[in-house]
Chain A
């Protein structure tokens, strides 16, 4: 059990105020002043670290947070799935292509045959129990983005009776120094990108038989260079962005999060068409720790410095509203404006945007 204070920030109201004002400048001055608003923390990444898994990766950020992901695939018997029938009935009803012929169905690609339950993600964070809010939320966020593209689960289909069950175990090896979502997502991305499944030797509905030769294994995510690269699926990656005043800052560290107005987690997957940028597969707002920071007491409200303490909480609130620009730390309140979400998303997914950079960087690790 790691000490719980790792999750909180121990900054005084004055420090918070200073940090906020420097982050609100144009251009913002970040805690690490060598970095611009769109720069990520530098990282050390490696893949194929665990020989007993189908794919694995380890990423260490320069602030010491480190994550390890192992992807393990096991053959599992499929349950009888009524939705295959249901889907067929639907397509007939819609006057679609007639697919009553069983063989024809099988010879088709595996589209739509995947099940959400074939992918299981578990997140382990030291000091947290399995059922604590943070690991559960992180796991569901990662699962959600991974399932949304739909293509991955279809690739786990072997035949009518068997399928691959993909277990993704995500371990945070260090205490959660900053909000670990982006790190975990990047590590998972790299592990999935480099994961391989043994090549299938059996045909159709036979009991599956696989090639013993690991060199013949097929990558879970097909490589782009083989087929011209037009239609390749890639695992999603989650980018964390925060808003402070007029600025939008990516990959915030723990202290920066403590002064955020709002935090967004955006999961992006590379788009199918090479002409456009990545697409957003899911988006979530995250409650920043700044909401919980204690407010500063301005001189005017402090009887010790000659001010007058407000008589009621309502009075205190109105006085605080007036002070908002004065540099006295007041925890940010409220949510995100729609305009802000739009700005953040366009910065992420635009051609040459942040998401593309991240995906390209992770791709480069595998190639290099």
Chain B
């Protein structure tokens, strides 16, 4: 038995183990169809031969389905660039200010010959299940650091010496895949701001579900919600546009190293689809100006 995802010669092969003939619609996320994925739990196929991959998740998705993704670009009139992104119930609003003269230009370790990317993430008090103020704890700081280093190398910062590009992210609703949603929203907002970058940076989460204790046979899952994130080992992977190259990879849970491959493969595949979706949003917006 093989794992579902394989990386062979740097090519991602996603193969459905049991059904070799995957339905074309199954490989496409439900946002191409209309409406949300069915929330009602469907009759679980009890035939064990197809169970491990036809398994429906808590919200009725299949293992390789993304949640409904809704994205808008240029939502804020006053910002240089802005975007709004929903991944299921995770909702993020991003605004970009700059490139502008920074408050502390040339300080704080910024190099003089390139722009500095500053990131500010604010969790709205109403974003979680319970109202809580979460400001500048270590986790948020780490997320800010991740975004700032990822975009510093992606944006063509050398075009804007002595300046600062500020990303402000408002998290309006949390339901898993926070970092991935922040990355995707930031990419859209930076495109809206017209800051040159080499390609889309898109991100996705992938998990490894342990249906059996046998570590060789675990199903990878794509795009986790909050419940799944708490239960399963998962990673966030961010890739650069159409290539398979990994720019961001954060894994915070304990997992066997053998499972990494399939998780990575599924995540990268998800990123590719994410890129298509975001690209569609940008092109749709661009049509207004043609």
Using a CB–CB distance below 8 Å, which chain A residues touch chain B? 1-4, 50-53, 56, 60, 62-66, 68, 70-72, 74, 122, 124, 126, 130, 165, 167, 169, 171, 173-175, 177
Total contacting residues, chain B, CB less than 8 A: 32
B60 within 8 A of A: no
25 cross-chain CB contacts under 8 A:
A1-B103, A1-B120, A2-B168, A3-B97, A50-B91, A50-B172, A52-B127, A52-B129, A53-B126, A56-B126, A62-B77, A64-B79, A66-B76, A70-B125, A71-B126, A72-B125, A72-B126, A124-B122, A169-B125, A169-B126, A171-B124, A173-B76, A174-B95, A175-B78, A175-B97
B158 within 8 A of A: no
Closest 7 CB pairs of A and B: A64-B78, A70-B126, A169-B125, A64-B77, A174-B78, A167-B131, A72-B131
Report the minimum CB–CB distance from B124 to chain A (whole Å): 5
- Chain B 130-147 near chain A by CB (<8 Å), digits 1 or 0: 110101000000000000
How many angstroms from the CA of A173 to the CA of B171 in the assembled complex? 11
Given contacts A3-B103, A50-B91, A65-B78, 15 further A-B contacts (CB under 8 A): A3-B102, A3-B166, A52-B89, A56-B126, A68-B124, A70-B126, A71-B126, A72-B131, A122-B125, A126-B95, A126-B122, A167-B126, A173-B95, A174-B77, A174-B78
Whether B122 contacts A171 by the Cβ 8 Å rule is yes
B100 within 8 A of A: yes
Q: Could you say which of B79, B126, B166 contacts A174, with CB atoms under 8 Å apart?
A: B79
Whether A1 contacts B166 by the Cβ 8 Å rule is yes
Report the minimum CB–CB distance from A310 to chain B (whole Å): 35
B-side contacts of A66, CB under 8 Å: 76-78
A-side contacts of B122, CB under 8 Å: 124, 126, 171
Whether B125 contacts A167 by the Cβ 8 Å rule is yes
- Chain B 164-181 near chain A by CB (<8 Å), digits 1 or 0: 101010101100000000
B-side contacts of A126, CB under 8 Å: 95, 120, 122, 168
Whether B97 contacts A173 by the Cβ 8 Å rule is no
B284 within 8 A of A: no
How many angstroms from the CA of A130 to the CA of B140 in the assembled complex? 15
A-side contacts of B118, CB under 8 Å: 1
Whether B125 contacts A60 by the Cβ 8 Å rule is no
B-side contacts of A72, CB under 8 Å: 125-126, 131
| 81-110 of chain B: CB within 8 A of chain A | 89, 91, 93, 95, 97-98, 100-103
List the A residue with the shortest CB-CB distance to B79: A174
Report the minimum CB–CB distance from A99 to chain B (whole Å): 34
Whether A74 contacts B130 by the Cβ 8 Å rule is yes
List the A residue with the shortest CB-CB distance to B100: A3
Whether A60 contacts B97 by the Cβ 8 Å rule is no
How many angstroms from the CA of A113 to the CA of B168 in the assembled complex? 41
Whether B76 contacts A174 by the Cβ 8 Å rule is yes
Whether B172 contacts A68 by the Cβ 8 Å rule is yes
B-side contacts of A50, CB under 8 Å: 91, 126, 172-173
How many angstroms from the CA of A169 to the CA of B125 in the assembled complex? 6
Whether B170 contacts A171 by the Cβ 8 Å rule is yes
List the B residue with the shortest CB-CB distance to A6: B97
List the B residue with the shortest CB-CB distance to A174: B78
Known interface pairs A1-B120, A171-B122, A174-B79. Does A52 touch B173 (Cβ–Cβ under 8 Å)? yes
List the A residue with the shortest CB-CB distance to B120: A1
How many angstroms from the CA of A74 to the CA of B129 in the assembled complex? 10
Report the minimum CB–CB distance from A129 to chain B (whole Å): 9
A-side contacts of B125, CB under 8 Å: 70, 72, 122, 167, 169
Whether A64 contacts B76 by the Cβ 8 Å rule is yes
How many angstroms from the CA of A50 to the CA of B166 in the assembled complex? 26
A-side contacts of B76, CB under 8 Å: 64, 66, 173-174
B-side contacts of A4, CB under 8 Å: 103
Whether B124 contacts A177 by the Cβ 8 Å rule is no
Whether B131 contacts A74 by the Cβ 8 Å rule is yes
A-side contacts of B170, CB under 8 Å: 68, 171, 173
List the B residue with the shortest CB-CB distance to A60: B77
Report the minimum CB–CB distance from B74 to chain A (whole Å): 12
Known interface pairs A50-B173, A171-B170, A173-B170. Does A70 touch B124 (Cβ–Cβ under 8 Å)? yes
How many angstroms from the CA of A1 to the CA of B148 in the assembled complex? 13
Whether B166 contacts A2 by the Cβ 8 Å rule is yes
List the B residue with the shortest CB-CB distance to A73: B131
How many angstroms from the CA of A72 to the CA of B78 in the assembled complex? 27
Whether A2 contacts B131 by the Cβ 8 Å rule is no
How many angstroms from the CA of A319 to the CA of B173 in the assembled complex? 59
| 146-198 of chain B: CB within 8 A of chain A | 164, 166, 168, 170, 172-173
Report the minimum CB–CB distance from B95 to chain A (whole Å): 7
A-side contacts of B135, CB under 8 Å: 130
How many angstroms from the CA of A258 to the CA of B204 in the assembled complex? 47
B-side contacts of A167, CB under 8 Å: 125-126, 131
Q: Could you say which of B101, B131, B133 contacts A3, with CB atoms under 8 Å apart?
A: B101
Most chain B Cβ neighbours within 10 Å, of A2, A70, A122: A2
A-side contacts of B120, CB under 8 Å: 1, 126
List the B residue with the shortest CB-CB distance to A69: B126
B-side contacts of A68, CB under 8 Å: 124, 170, 172
How many angstroms from the CA of A174 to the CA of B78 in the assembled complex? 6
B-side contacts of A71, CB under 8 Å: 126
How many angstroms from the CA of A177 to the CA of B76 in the assembled complex? 13
List the A residue with the shortest CB-CB distance to B128: A52
A-side contacts of B89, CB under 8 Å: 52
Report the minimum CB–CB distance from A189 to chain B (whole Å): 17
Most chain A Cβ neighbours within 10 Å, of B79, B120, B125, B173: B125
A-side contacts of B133, CB under 8 Å: 122
